[in-house]
Amino acid sequence: MARITIIGAGITGMSIAYVLSRNHDITIVAKNLPGDKPTIDWASPWAGASFIAGGCSSADEVRMQRDTFAELWRLSVSRPESSVKQVFAEDFHDDKTKDDIWWKDFMPEVSSTPSPLLCHKTLILNPDVFLPWFKTELERTGVRFERMELKSLSDARNRGHDVLINATGFGSLNLQDVQDQNMQMIRGQTALVKSSLKQLLMHDNGETYTYAIPRLDGTVILGGTRDTDSKSPDIDSNQVNDIFKRINEHLPDQFSANPSDHEIVRHNVGIRPSRLGGVRVEKEERDGQNIVHAYGVPGGGYIFGFGVARAARDLVEEILFSSPKPRL
C-alpha cells in the first residue's frame, strides 16, 4: 500500500481518491473542502450539474467521459442519496453534425430526431448534496482530509508520500512550480429557480449555450454563460436578464422572460478551470517528488471526473511498479 497525497478536494481530486483508495493510503489536502460555504476560489460547488458530453480534443478525453458516465450511472442506480439522477435530455448542437457527436451511439435511449437535435437519457446531480456525500463516503474508506493552502508543490515534499497528485484546478495557474499558462478561467453564471421542470434542455450553437437542468427536487438551474473576460464574483444583472430571455425562447410554457416573475432561490457565479489543449494528466519527477498532474478539464469536471481519475491511477501505477533503473 503506497502513501498518496492529493492536493484538491473538488470533483477531480475526490474522484481520484475514490479510484485509488481501494489499494492505497490517501490524504486529500486542500484550501477549500466540501461542506464549506461556496466561494469563487474553486469550481465544483457551482456546477449545474448535468452530464452533457462534448468538448473533447482527443480520443483519450472521449474515453474519460465514457468512463465517468458509466460510474455516475452506477451511482444513480445504487446510491440515490448521492443526488445522481437519470433524466431525459433535449440536446441541440447547431455547430455540429451528428457525425461530430460521438455520444449519439453511447447515451441510453437515444431517439432518432432531425439534426441538430438529439434526445437521450442522461444524468444530473446536485453539488450541494453530492460533494459532502462523496467526502463522507471517502472518509468511510479511510481517506483523510486536511485543510491547507500550498504556495508550491514542493511545499508538500516532507509529507512522506510516494506520489503527490496535483488536482488543484485553476490553482495550477498560481502554484509557483506549476504556473500553467494554458489555464483558461471561464466565468459561468446561473440561476437556481423554483420549477417542476422534469426534462433537461441544452442548446449549444457554438457561441452561446442555453440550458435548463432540472434537479428533480422542485428547482432548476438556468444558464448559461461562458465568459473569458471577467473573473468577477458579482452577479451580472444583464446576464440574468439574458439567460431568462433565452430560456423563455426555448421553453415559453414554463418560463417567462422576466426574472421577477420567478422564485429565484439564488444566483451562482463560478470560474471553470479549463485548459487550452485539453486536460493535463501527466507524470513528472521534481524536487524529489513523484508528481501526477490531473487538472484543466475542458468545460465540465463532472463529465470527466472518474475518467481523469482512472488515467491518473494508471500513471500512479507506472510510478509505483516500474522496474528500478539498473545500476551501472
Ligand X SMILES: Cc1cc2nc3c(=O)[nH]c(=O)nc-3n(C[C@H](O)[C@H](O)[C@H](O)COP(=O)(O)OP(=O)(O)OC[C@H]3O[C@@H](n4cnc5c(N)ncnc54)[C@H](O)[C@@H]3O)c2cc1C
Point out which residues bind ligand X (CB under 6 A): 7-13, 30-32, 42-44, 46-50, 149-150, 167-169, 171, 175, 188, 190, 268, 270, 272-273, 295, 297, 300-303
Pull the grid cell for residue 220. 432548476
- Residue placing its CB nearer to ligand X in the complex, 58 or 252: 58
DSSP conformation class of 15 = H
CB 198 to ligand X: min, Å = 17
249 contacts 117 by C-beta, under 8 angstroms: no
- Residue placing its CB nearer to ligand X in the complex, 112 or 181: 181
Task: Round to whole Å and give the CA distance between 175 and 269.
Answer: 23
Degrees to nearest 5, angle at CA 174 with 172 and 180:
50
Residue whose C-alpha cell reads 438529439 in the numeric block: 118
Starting from the edge strand earliest in sequence, which strands make up the sheet with 264-275, in order? 117-124, 85-93, 200-204, 209-214, 219-223, 183-194, 264-275
CB 145 to ligand X: min, Å = 10
For residue 299, say whether it is annotated as part of any ligand binding site.
Answer: yes
For residue 168, say whether it is annotated as part of any ligand binding site.
Answer: yes
Query: Could you count the other beta carbons within 10 Å of the beta carbon of residue 207?
Result: 8
49 contacts 213 by C-beta, under 8 angstroms: yes
CB 80 to ligand X: min, Å = 19
- Residue placing its CB nearer to ligand X in the complex, 112 or 159: 159
Name the strand (E) or helix (H) holding 210: strand 209-214
CB 190 to ligand X: min, Å = 5
- Residue placing its CB nearer to ligand X in the complex, 225 or 290: 225
- Residue placing its CB nearer to ligand X in the complex, 49 or 64: 49
CB 86 to ligand X: min, Å = 15
Task: Round to whole Å and give the CA distance between 65 and 51.
Answer: 9
Degrees to nearest 5, angle at CA 285 with 3 and 311:
65
Name the strand (E) or helix (H) holding 221: strand 219-223
CB 321 to ligand X: min, Å = 26
- Residue placing its CB nearer to ligand X in the complex, 35 or 252: 35
Tell which residue, 298, 273, 293, has the closest CA to residue 282: 293
Binding site feature residues for FAD: 168
Residues at the binding site for D-dopa are 272, 299
Residues at the binding site are 168, 272, 299
